[in-house]
């Protein structure tokens, strides 16, 4: 038994030592520094949006002990992701883990570098699930929950498998009290968009809404129990330009059912920005359809 534990201990220590080459310190806020993930050899760093409170004067602590400056490429609060470009070259990015090999109960390590040296905490994958949407409308490709302890400064750091391969980015901001990791597929998609555009495009209607139950006759007609009552429409917004107004109830957008606010957020994707889509509403007890050109959220 002692040999097994010794081998496990040595393996974990080696994993942390090797993976530490892809972990940097991020000084982008007043309080304790946070952690970042080396994304490319040319200096791209991925970290958590909530640990980068300023756009300038960002410092990066490199694995070899040097410090350098970084500029903000872009941020996506909806997935708690920020991308920095450090004034450094020949960095060591992670190898991505095979998501099919990662299962509930597998050992994982959360790594951080809030100081000069890499730190680690051990845990297991406690839950895996399908894609989900954050409270701000960000699409996350996989639900990845662990029981790792998120010590101060670990947000923005990597979650790695037993081989030291990147499984995701640790964050404590998306769901209070739950240790989540943004999977690599989401990080790659968001990073590509931020590098290309400096932002994530998201659709915008310009309405405030409230979920309401539909009358029985409309439930049968539409095949859904609820819709979104418009309680206000911003002047000059896409909704206002299309004639949507207080008292209308949105029931579909682009032929997809809208039963609650999450449904609406899920449909206001970047791909729909600038396009005219049909929106079905209930007005005066009758179902009507209007064309709305989706705007872009600031």
Residues labelled catalytic: 50, 80, 155
Q: How far apart are the first and last CA of the chain?
A: 58
Task: Kindly list the distances between the CA atom of residue 93 and the CA atoms of 22, 63, 114, 177, 243, in Å, as whole numbers in the listed order.
Answer: 5, 12, 18, 29, 50
State CA 65 to chain mean position distance: 29
Can you read off the two tokens belonging to residue 109?
Answer: 């390590």
């Amino acid at each position: 038994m002692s040999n097994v534990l010794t081998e496990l201990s040595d393996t974990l220590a080696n994993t942390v030592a090797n993976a530490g080459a892809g972990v940097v310190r991020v000084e982008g806020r007043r309080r304790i520094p946070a952690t970042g993930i080396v994304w490319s050899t040319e200096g791209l760093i991925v970290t958590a949006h909530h640990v980068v409170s300023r756009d300038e004067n960002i410092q990066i602590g490199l694995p070899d002990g040097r410090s350098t400056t970084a500029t903000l490429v872009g941020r996506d609060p909806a997935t708690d992701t920020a991308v920095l470009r450090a004034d450094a070259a020949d960095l060591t990015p992670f190898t991505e883990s095979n998501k099919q090999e990662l299962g509930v109960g597998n050992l994982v390590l959360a790594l951080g570098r809030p100081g000069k040296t890499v730190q680690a905490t051990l845990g297991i994958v406690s839950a895996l699930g399908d894609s989900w949407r954050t409270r701000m409308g960000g699409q996350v490709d996989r639900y990845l929950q662990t029981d790792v302890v998120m010590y101060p400064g670990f947000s923005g750091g990597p979650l790695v498998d037993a081989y030291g391969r990147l499984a995701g980015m640790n964050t404590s901001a998306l769901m209070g009290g739950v240790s989540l990791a943004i999977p690599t597929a989401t990080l790659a998609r968001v990073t590509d968009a931020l590098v290309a555009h400096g932002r994530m495009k998201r659709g915008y209607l310009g309405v405030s809404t409230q979920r309401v139950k539909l009358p029985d006759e409309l439930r049968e007609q539409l095949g859904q129990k609820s819709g979104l009552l418009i309680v206000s429409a911003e002047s000059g917004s896409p909704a206002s330009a299309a004639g949507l107004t207080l008292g209308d109830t949105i029931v579909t957008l682009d032929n997809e059912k809208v039963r609650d606010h999450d449904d609406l957020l899920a449909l206001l994707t970047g791909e729909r920005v600038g396009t005219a889509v049909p929106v079905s509403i209930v007005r005066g007890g009758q179902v009507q359809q209007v064309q709305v050109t989706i705007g872009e959220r600031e």
